[in-house]
Amino acid sequence: MSYNMVVLLTWCTSAFAQTVDLTGQASGWVGMNRDETQIGARYIPELSLAKNLSETHEVSAEAAVNAHWFTRYDGADSIENASKVDPYRVWARWASPQFEARAGLQKISFGSATLLRPLRWFDSIDPRDPLALTEGVTGFLGRYTLQSNASIWLWALNGNEDLKGWETLSTDPRNIEFGGRVQVPVKAGEMGLSYHRRRVNPNGSVFGTLYPTQGKFSEEQVGLDGKWDIGVGLWFEGTVTRRNYDVSIPQYVHRLTVGTDYTFDIGNGPHLLVEQFVQDEADRVLRPGRGHWISALSLDYPFSLLDRGMAILYYDWDRNQWSRLLQWQRTYDQWQIHVSAFWNPDRTSVTQESTAVNSFTGKGAQLMLVFNH
């Protein structure tokens, strides 16, 4: 990927002489968790290039890296120290008023839910993360918007061996993942229908050890979501995953979230959001299994133009576990300050996992400074 980044940057620099923009985000944090202290820093520089081919057509490109370092202390002794520089975004795009085609390492995210997202197929965004970071996927995305504001998405992905979204087994890097989405406006809202297919490689996993005769198999996902504004916000998001393996365990996974939100006419307007999630596994597509229920609630309140407070609460009904977060944020032109306190299980539910280094497990607090340029 680093070689591809150099090639893309070299080509873009010579081809795009019209607009060149260098921005970046630097962040540093100190976190305390029981007897542990974590100190870390991150810098994400982003180079954007663009050139107008005509009044209606543009070509552009973006390249960004994620450079981060952190160390963990148990008392006075360092128990872990790591630093890494990874590609974060590397893509090129051709766009017109109704169509865009994007190729490279990019973010693909869609759906109606916020805290508990069945359609979290390609990202790992944690709603508690102030930076909302997620690794990208490598591939092609085409999107066409009709005059009615309906849109059609098509994608093809390749080389994404790392787990993404809800995945528990790796994708076969020799096969192309593909899928698409149709999103249409409806009265007071919009609805979407999504599909994705990939080839799974279970080798080297716990699943592969338990079922050594099971080779590679295909996996298909279908999702349906909708969102409406009828005074209060209402939405749902549901998916069905079919794993086409030969072993005698349930092939289907169902996930469903329903949610609502409302901004109250009190003070500066507190915003309340509630979601209910259920997941089950079954041996037939329409047969329900034993449900795994999770409830979530968030409340945010703007105390002033600079200050905002937020609380996020999860409850896992099967494990009888609460996850709690309180956060205060102050925003200046380029600076942000985030102060967080959390009280969570040491092992969180899969719906709350984060790929960020600074995850919110156990009991603790965190101070984060962010500078954007």
DSSP class of 27: E
**Alpha-carbon gap, residue 221 to 371, rounded angstroms:** 39
Tell me how far apart the terminal alpha carbons of the chain are, to the nearest angstrom. 26
Domain topology for 107-372: Porin (2.40.160)
Q: Tell me the C-alpha distance between 103 and 270, whole Å.
A: 40
Q: Which helix (H) or strand (E) holds 29?
A: strand 19-33
Tokens coding 33: 């968790």
Q: What gap in Å lies between CA 138 and CA 158, rounded to an integer?
A: 6
Q: Structure pTM?
A: 0.88
Q: In whole angstroms, what is the distance from residue 43 CA to residue 72 CA?
A: 19
Query: Can you tell me which residue has the tokens 């944020």?
Result: 329
SS3 category, 11: helix
HSE value, Cβ hemisphere, 13 Å, CA-based, for 111 = 27
Instruction: Give the number of other CB atoms < 10 A from CB of residue 351.
Output: 22
pLDDT confidence of residue 328: 97
The pLDDT of residue 272: 98
What is the DSSP track for 185-201?
EETTEEEEEEEEEEEEE
* Residue 227, both tokens: 């969102």
In this prediction, residue 355 carries a pLDDT of: 43
Among 90, 115, 103, 72, residue whose Cα is nearest residue 9: 90
Regions in the chain scoring below 70 on pLDDT: 1-17, 75-78, 347-359
Q: What is the pLDDT of residue 161?
A: 86
- The residue type at 139: G
For residue 171, the model assigns a pLDDT of 94
Q: How far apart are CA 108 and CA 89, in angstroms?
A: 11
* pLDDT at 7 (0 to 100): 56
CA distances from 222 to 71, 174, 194, 278 (A): 41, 23, 6, 16
Per-domain boundaries in the chain: 1-90, 107-372
